[in-house]
Amino acid sequence: MRIICVAGARPNYMKVKPVMDALEAAGAEVVLVHTGQHYDAAMNDVFFTELGIRRPDHFLQVGSASQAVQTGRVMAAFEPLAAELRPDVVVVVGDVNSTLGCALVAAKSGALLAHVEAGLRSRDWDMPEEVNRVVTDRLSDYLFAPSADAVDNLRAEGYRPDQIHLAGNVMVDTLLANLDRALASDVLSRLGLSRGGYALVTLHRPANVDDPGALATLLSALDEVAQACPIVLPAHPRAAGQLRAHGLSQRVQVIAPAGYLDFVALQASARLVLTDSGGVQEETTVLGVPCLTLRDNTERPVTLTEGTNQLVGRDRERIVKTALSVLDAPPLRRCPALWDGRAGQRIAATLLSGGGAAGHPRPTDLSS
C-alpha cells in the first residue's frame, strides 16, 4: 500500500511522525510530502532533527501567504504530485492550510483520504482553522478522532459510523516518546529559570495577535501576572513584531520560538501555562501542568473536562484573577482516555486493514 503523509507547519510534525512510524513498521510504503508552509530553522528544521523525522521525499515550497493564496499554492503543487504518485491513501493531520489544500486535491484524485485529528470543533467560524477542520472532515473517508467529544461531533454531523475511528491523540504519542529526552534539556539553566518558578506563555492566534487592542489587553494582563510569577514567552514569528512594539515589563522574558525538546521541558517545569495554542492545551493536560487558554472557546473541550485547562478569554481582570487563584490552588492531573502513546499504531492498523474505506463520505443527513 502506498500512503502519502502530508506535513507543512510546526504543529503537524509531532502529529505525522507516529503515524509514519507505525505505517512503515507495518510494511506500508510511506511518501512524506512537506508543503513548506513553515520553512525556517526555528519553525521547521529543529523539529525534523529533534523528532528524527526523515527528509521529506517531496518539498512543495509554498511559503507564507494569505489564506487563499497559501491554500491555492498547496493545491496547485500537490495535484501533479498526487497524479504522479497515485497513492492508495493520503493522510493529512490537524487544521492548517496544508491540511485543507491537500485534502481537496486528494478527494478529487481517486485516493482515499484520512484525517488525523478529525471532529474537533470550536464552533468559531472566525477561526481559519475551524473552516479547515470542517471542510477536511467533509472530504475524508477515514475520520480519526482524538477524543470521545470529537466522535460525538462527527456523529451529530451525520457521518457514517464506519468512517469514524476513536484513535486517541497522536500529539501525545510524540510527547510521551520524547519526554525523557526533553526533561534532560538544560533550557531552564540557559534561561535562568527554576523548576516551578515561572509561567510559560504562547500567543499566535490571529484574534489575539493581529488585533492591537486585544493584544494590548492581553499583554497588560500578562504584565500583572508576571508580578506574581515571572513569565517566559517564546514568540511565534507572526507575533514577534507586535510583541517588540509593546513595552513589556522585565519580568516577561521574550525569547525566540523554542525547539520541541526545550519547549516540552519548559511546559513540564512551569507553574502555569497561558496560551492560545491548540496543542499546548493538550500537552499541559498530559503533563499535569495548569493551563489557562486565552480564548473564548476551544476545539479541545476534553482538556477542560478531563484535564488541567480553563478558558479565560481575553478579559484582563478575569485572566489575572484566574491566574492568581490557579497559582495558589493548581488543578489535579487527569488524562483523557486513549491519550496513551499508541494512537499512531491504532491509525496504521485501521488504514492497513482497509476498515472504513467504503468510499467517499455520505453523511446520513445528506443521503437520506
**Which residues bind to ligand UDP, rule: CB under 6 A?**
10-11, 14, 202, 234, 257-258, 260, 263-264, 277-280, 283
CA dist., res. 353 & res. 131, Å (int) = 30
Reduce the DSSP state of residue 177 to 3 states and report it.
helix
CA dist., res. 63 & res. 81, Å (int) = 18
* Segments in 58-169 forming alpha helices (H): 67-85, 97-109, 128-139, 148-156
User: Quick one: 31 or 273, whose CB is closer to ligand UDP?
Assistant: 273
Annotated catalytic residue, options 34, 38, 115, 204: 204
User: Quick one: 203 or 338, whose CB is closer to ligand UDP?
Assistant: 203
Chain-centroid distance of CA 184 in Å reads 24
Q: Closest distance between ligand UDP and the C-beta of residue 174, in Å? A: 7
Strand partners for 6: 33
CB contact at 8 A, 5 and 32: yes
CB contact at 8 A, 11 and 278: yes
Max CA distance (Å), the chain: 62
> Could you tell me which residues come within 8 angstroms of residue 250 by beta carbon, excluding any fewer than 6 positions away?
none
Q: Closest distance between ligand UDP and the C-beta of residue 205, in Å? A: 7
Give 15's DSSP letter: H
Q: For 147-178, b where at least 16 C-beta lie within 10 A, e where not — what string? A: bbbbbebbeebebbeebbbbbbbbbbbbbebb
Q: Closest distance between ligand UDP and the C-beta of residue 264, in Å? A: 6
Q: Closest distance between ligand UDP and the C-beta of residue 78, in Å? A: 20
User: Quick one: 120 or 167, whose CB is closer to ligand UDP?
Assistant: 120
> Could you tell me which residues come within 8 angstroms of residue 273 by beta carbon, excluding any fewer than 6 positions away?
199, 200, 201, 202, 267, 280, 284, 289, 290, 291, 292
Exposed (0-12), middle (13-18) or buried (19+): which is 95, by Cβ within 10 Å? buried
CB contact at 8 A, 171 and 244: no
User: Quick one: 141 or 282, whose CB is closer to ligand UDP?
Assistant: 282
CA dist., res. 140 & res. 118, Å (int) = 9
Q: Closest distance between ligand UDP and the C-beta of residue 19, in Å? A: 15
CA dist., res. 181 & res. 19, Å (int) = 20
Cell matching residue 103: 485534502
User: Quick one: 137 or 283, whose CB is closer to ligand UDP?
Assistant: 283
User: Quick one: 78 or 263, whose CB is closer to ligand UDP?
Assistant: 263
Q: Closest distance between ligand UDP and the C-beta of residue 367, in Å? A: 32
Among this protein's residues, is 204 annotated catalytic?
yes
User: Quick one: 234 or 361, whose CB is closer to ligand UDP?
Assistant: 234
Q: Closest distance between ligand UDP and the C-beta of residue 296, in Å? A: 15
Catalytic residues: 204
